[in-house]
Amino acid sequence: MSTQTRCSPSDAVSTPRARRARACLLAWTSAWIVACGGGGNDVTPPAVATLTPVPSRYVVAQGNFTIRSPDKGLTYFVRLPINTTVTGKIDATVDWTYSTNTLWMYVIEGDCTADQFATDDCPGPTCPCRFSVTSEQSAPKPRVLTVASATAGLRTLIVWNHGPQEESCSYQVVLTTPAGAARAEAVRGATAEMAQKRRPRTPN
């Protein structure tokens, strides 16, 4: 004949019965955990978002200026100093009023003075100024001059009016720095200086 074991609170009185009670309690607890789905599920930690650094854009110079129309064999140009504090890509955008006017534009390394550019040697192979970007054409309008990898320092933007009319211009210089680079300082108070120059050749 088989013997059945019953669990009751009175089993805790004697030691053998207490052991049997603990065995019953353990079996009941294990069955409850399995029934509830406990004990075998791994907890998945929440996903952590990774932020990827992106390039930064800074306006380092902007403003407006006027260039006189050519007269008596003379033309006029405006020079603007541009200073950047970190390495990056420079985009100098220049717009003007009359699409019938022809404007030539240059970005020059360092300081190109008005007296230097006014000589017949500039622009040209014997010019003392070092040209990074040259745009000697009538279009497009507006014009964007780009220096893809510009080290920090001084540069000169020159806009030369070949006419036929006086011209009002606006400009903006944007510096794009690589992701994670140091913050650039905005220097927006560039002073436009106008000077005259003989026209050595007819523009295209």
What residues does 109 pair with on adjacent strands? 130, 155
48-57, 141-150, 172-181: least confidently modelled range = 48-57
The answer to whether residue 52 scores a pLDDT higher than 70 is: no
Pairing outcome for strands 103-109 and 143-150: unpaired
Can you give the pLDDT at residue 22? Answer: 65
pTM of model > 0.85: no
Can you give the pLDDT at residue 199? Answer: 74
Over range 27-32, report the average pLDDT: 56
Can you give the pLDDT at residue 179? Answer: 76
Can you give the pLDDT at residue 56? Answer: 86
H helices of the chain, in order, are 15-35, 114-118
Over range 61-88, report the average pLDDT: 93
Over range 158-167, report the average pLDDT: 96
| Strands (E) located in 97-152 | 103-109, 130-135, 143-150
| Burial class of residue 203 in the structure, from the number of CB atoms within 10 Å of its CB (0-12 exposed, 13-18 middle, 19+ buried) | middle
Which pLDDT tens digit goes with each residue over 102-128?
A: 999 999 999 999 999 999 999 989 999
Can you give the pLDDT at residue 85? Answer: 87
